[in-house]
Structure 1
Amino acid sequence: MSLQVLTTVTQFLSGLTPQPPVSSAEYDGVEYAWKWFIFRPAIFKNEIFLLGGVLFYLAFFWLGSQSNASKANSWFKAHLPLYEKQFTSPTQGELTKDGYTDFFNFSTGRRLVASLHTIFTLRPRHDLLQYIYQVGWTLIDLNYAPKDEILLDFTLHSSTAIPDFVWALVVKGELLSIKKDRWDLTFTRTNELPALPSYVMVMSEYADVTDGILKIAGPLIEALKDPKVQPYFRSLSITDQPRTRPDYLPVPREKHVLLSLAALPPAHADITVPLVTAVFSLIDALEKVNFRPETKTKLKRVREDFLKNLKDEAEKEKREELADARAAAKKKAEDERIAGLSAAEQQKILDRERKRSIRKTQGKMVKK
C-alpha cells in the first residue's frame, strides 16, 4: 500500500471518529455527556414545557375517549340480555361508533315495534378545547347544561291501532330545554299530577289522553318511583308528530316512543334495566288505550288545522315565488328594451327615473 493511499484511509477514519465534547465557558448548568453526546437540560426549557403539554393533551384524549366508550359499552352490555329477549334481530353484540362521542345500535323484529335506535350522545371528553368551552359556557349561560344522553327511539309499526296523540313525562329540570328542542310537544299543556313521582311533569294534549295512558302505565310509574332511577331519567314521550316543525307536505306520519336517559356510571349501568323493561310493557299496552269520542274529534281537528295552515303557507310561498319570477322577467325585458335605444333616449329615461325617485323621497319627508 502506497503512502498516499495510507494517508487517505487515515484521514477518512479520523473523520468518522467523534470529536471530544467541548463545553462552552458560558454554560454553567447541569450537563450530561456520553462520548460525543452532550445534553444540557437548561437549554431546552421551552421544549420541555411544549413536550409536557403535548403529552398532557394525548393523555386527556386517550382517557376521555376511553371514558366515553366505557359509558356506552357498559350500558349496552347491561341491557343486551333484555334486547335479545325482546327482538328477533337485536344486535351484533356491539355498538357502531361514530367518532369518540356518538355510538349507535339498531334493533328490529318485534310486535308493534318496527325498529329501535339506541343512540348515545356523549360529551367531548377526548377534546380538551371543546370540553373547556363547555365548562366555561356553563359559567356564562346558566341555562346551558351539557349532558351525556342515551336516547331509545322506538318507531312503531304503521299498521298499529294506536291513536294519534302527543304525550310525555318530563323531569322538571328538563322542561325548558325540551320545549325549545321538541316542536311536537308544543301541541301539549304541562301539568303536575299526584299519581306521579314529584320530580316529573305531564305534557299532554288533553286530560283524557293522560287518563288513558295512566291506566296502562303502572309498571312505568313504579319504575320511576325507584330512587336509583330518578337521577338518570330525563323524559319519556309518545308522539305521532315530527320532532322538528315540518315545512313541506306531506307531513311524515310515524309514531314514536322516545325514552331519554342520562348516561350512567359503568359500575351501575344496570340500574335502568327495570325502566326500559317497563317501556316495552307500555308499548305492548298502547293498543288498549281508548279515548272519548269528543277527545278523538279534538285530536283530529288539531292535526287537520295544522295541515291546513301548512298548506296555506306553502301556497302563499309559491305565489310569492311566482310574483318574484314575473317581476324579474318584466325587469329583464325592460332592461333589454332600454339597451336597444339610443344614448339620448336612455339618458331621458334615466333622468325621468331620477326625478321620480326624488319626488318619492320628498313625499316621505312631508309625511314625517
Structure 2
Amino acid sequence: MSQIKIPIYKPDLGGNEKKYVNECLDTSWISSRGRFVNDFELSFARRIGIEHAASVSNGTVALHLALMALGVGPGDEVIVPTLTYIASANAVAYTGATPVFVDSLRSTWQLDPEDVRRHITPRTRAIMPVHLYGQACDMDALAAIAEEHRLFIVEDCAEGFGTLYKGRHVGTFGDISTFSFFGNKTITTGEGGMVVSNDKTLIERARHLKGQGLAAHREYWHDVVGYNYRMTNIQAAIGLAQLERADEFIQNKRELASRYEKALSDLPLEPHAEAPETVHSYWMYSVLVKHPDLRDPLRRHLAAAGVETRPLFYPLHTMPMYSRSYRKHSVAEDLAWRGINLPSWPSIPDDQFAHIVATIRDFYDHRS
C-alpha cells in the first residue's frame, strides 16, 4: 500500500482565519452574535451581487429555510435533478412536500429543462436547479418555464460558489437561493451555509425561522415554530477570511482543471467541460470513463497509490426512500455510473499532481 496520501479535498486556511477566530475568543463572542456574522453576510451578498443574505449552520438547513420561506409544504411538489447530493431532496421532504426527480442534460450534466416541462403537474410549486460540481444550469430556459407556469425557483448553489451564468453569479436568478460552506467547499466555514434573495420579505422569513421563531419586538416571545439554524460568530470569522481570498481559490481551481485537461487529454476520459456563456468554478474536477465497468477498477488503482477519489452522486431516484415511484432517468444514470471526482483542492503540490496523473496513466497502460 502506498505511503502517499492525497485527499480528495483539503481547505486552505492560510489567511486571516486564526486572527479572526482569536478575536472571537478574546472578546467571548463565540455563539451566534458578534461582528463577524453581520460582516460575513454583507460581504457575501456584495460578492455575488444580491441584496440580502442570511447565514445558517449548514447548506441543508439553508435549503429547508428557503423552501419554508416560500410556504412549500404538504401536497406540494418540487422538481429536483436526480443527479445531485441527497440534501436537495431531503430538504423538500422535511417540509412535507414531494421531490419530483428529473433527468440531466448529457452536455452539461445539469437539470434538463425539457424534462422539467414533462414533470410539471398542478401540484408543482417550485423548481430546484442544482449547479452540479460548479457548472451552471441553463437558467434562461428554467426561468422561462417558471414564469410560464408561475413557479418559484430555488437555486441550490452548494457547489456553485464562483460559478457564473452569462456574467451573473449563480444564486442571483432564483426567488431564493442557498450556498454551503462545508469543509470541502471552495470557501468554507467548517460547517455553514447561506440563504440569499433579492426579496427582503423572504429573507426576513428565513431569519425569523432560523432563530427559533423569536418575535421581533418582544423578548423570549415565539410566534411560530422555528429552528435553531444559526451560524456562529466563529464560523462567520472563518468564512470572512475565506471570502477575502475567494478570487485566488477560484483562479487556482480553474488552473488545476486546465492542468488536468491537458495532462489527461490523450486518455479515454471525458472531462466535465465548461459550457458556453458560463464560468465553471470546478468545485470538483470530474471525468467520465468510457464504460461503467472501468470506474471502480480505476478508483481502486488510484486508492492503492494513495489517491482519494469519489464517484459521482448516486441518482436520487435509486435511493430506497425515494424509489417508490421508480422510473428511468437514463442520462443521469449513465453519468453516475461512469463518473469520478479527482482531487480538487486548489493548491495541490506539483509532485502530488504528477503522481495522480502518472497513476491514471499507469492504469490505462496496463489495460492496453
Between structure 1 and structure 2, the one with the greater Rg is: 1
Which category describes the TM-score, using the shorter chain as reference length? under 0.3
- TM (norm. structure 1) is 0.22
Given the two structures, how large is their TM-score scaled by the length of structure 2?
0.22
Relative contact order higher in (CA < 8 Å, ≥ 6 apart): 2
